[in-house]
Structure 1
């Protein structure tokens, strides 16, 4: 059946958990806040069912244990149909990041969420082979992803497989900081999430981006220097000082409620 021309689906509520990726960093919203793949997914789910409700508890900079301690209990209390959980990236890029230990934490969190009756959409990490600096932790991310797939299979969860999205190897899918997705990257991830949830969409996340002009060496070099000065150096500074970009921030959408046009990203 169809609702307002959109195929219907069984999902009536969604709670999104995680860090800057799920908060929606570098995908500007209409009101000056951030939008992101989870908001885009919620908008698509809202179009296919009446009374759909959505909460986004993700906060930039959070480590996996913080997501589990602060966000998972609130998701359980909300009793949604689906919980989207993608976290661990901020742990893996640190020298102390242990994918096996992180997987044990994730397994406990997923078990808790599944015991509440919610379906869980658990996300893998991206393949960072084309990302400066980040490519150094590719082995850790791959190990963690293997655990994510095993945890999902054990608990009967759905997987948002970001590693296997070759379109995200295109630099245009990423913002200037090379750590967060650009709007087009968030759009593609939302389409991938719809596919994982069995929600029909009118676009294909696999479609390659249009051919672009190849950058000259000089342009690429200038971009590298700008990135080091304006993105990498401040990030290292925060790590050395024990600070996080999310310190003092609250979730942008803390309550499970119906979507209101123009309310996303606040």
Structure 2
């Protein structure tokens, strides 16, 4: 944990989360919450509110967004909220597109970070994890390594807090991942929330899930899982690419304006008490 608190002891407390599916919360299903997911950012917001009453929280992240979308659609609304804490994960979807110019991508990423850091807010950045989805994606490893190298350098340059996701060994367990193998499971989101809180010096009781060692799959079980994964995730993904659509096209931000996070009951209590007011902020 940091030696000095990174968050305001008093005054305004506004947490704004920017990004794509990683920050929206995909993989951590909860139909009671906007877009049917919860995610690590919601969990961080709730722990912030318990540690320091008065925190407000907005989450502008939407699945499938590229860096350019985050800059065009999320940056200005975030700046208008005058945040004191900002989290940003962006560029993961761009890395998966082989046409992406990585040098240009990271130049745009740095410009985005510079604008966020210029607000005086505490900025939290993330490296990307080397997800072992398929041997077909191994050529992307060098692109991911370049991205991570640049994120580390940019975090140091602008005094941002870095959550080095690449180095979190707990995510080598397949149970930390959802069935699509690209998004964290509920356990993964919960654990990542603890890592973010650790970097911010916020107390919490989140611990790594105490699992039995994973069982070794038989060849038949492995083949069945592969077929199910291809049918449920790979083919629909390619279908969307051919049609030029994404899963985020019809979605709006989960928490589009800062909402005051209850100390008890969390965001679920907020939705239960005033479902219409959540969308309005």
Q: 1:155 aligns with which of 155, 158, 165?
A: 158
1:177-188 to structure 2, matched below 5 A, reads 177-188=180-191
**1:14 aligned to 2:15?**
yes
Q: Once the 2 structures are TM-superposed, how far is the Cα of residue 252 of structure 1 from its aligned partner?
A: 0.8
Unpaired runs of at least 5, structure 1: 1-6
Question: Structure 1 pair 8/141, CA: closer, same or farther in 2 (3 Å)?
Answer: closer
- Within 2, Cα distance between the matches of 1:100 and 1:204? 37
Q: Once the 2 structures are TM-superposed, how far is the Cα of residue 209 of structure 1 from its aligned partner?
A: 4.1
Q: RMSD of the TM alignment (CA)? A: 2.1
- Within 1, Cα distance between the matches of 2:6 and 2:129? 30
Q: Once the 2 structures are TM-superposed, how far is the Cα of residue 202 of structure 1 from its aligned partner?
A: 2.4
Q: Once the 2 structures are TM-superposed, how far is the Cα of residue 98 of structure 1 from its aligned partner?
A: 2.9
Matching residue of 1:111: 114
**Matched-pair contact (CA < 8 Å) for 2:7–2:85:** no
**1:68 aligned to 2:71?**
yes
Question: Structure 1 pair 104/195, CA: closer, same or farther in 2 (3 Å)?
Answer: same
1:56-205 to structure 2, matched below 5 A, reads 56-128=59-131, 130-132=132-134, 133-205=136-208
**Matched-pair contact (CA < 8 Å) for 1:79–1:117:** no
Deviations 1:94-149 (A, max 9, x none): 11123222110110001111112212101111122x22244331111110010001
**Count of residues in Structure 1 that have an aligned counterpart in Structure 2:** 258
Structure that is richer in helix per residue = 2
Q: 1:51 aligns with which of 49, 54, 75?
A: 54
Matching residue of 1:247: 249
Deviations 1:76-95 (A, max 9, x none): 11011111000111110111
- Within 1, Cα distance between the matches of 2:61 and 2:211? 28
Question: Structure 1 pair 200/51, CA: closer, same or farther in 2 (3 Å)?
Answer: same
- Within 2, Cα distance between the matches of 1:131 and 1:8? 35
Q: 1:224 aligns with which of 216, 223, 226?
A: 226
Unpaired runs of at least 5, structure 2: 272-277
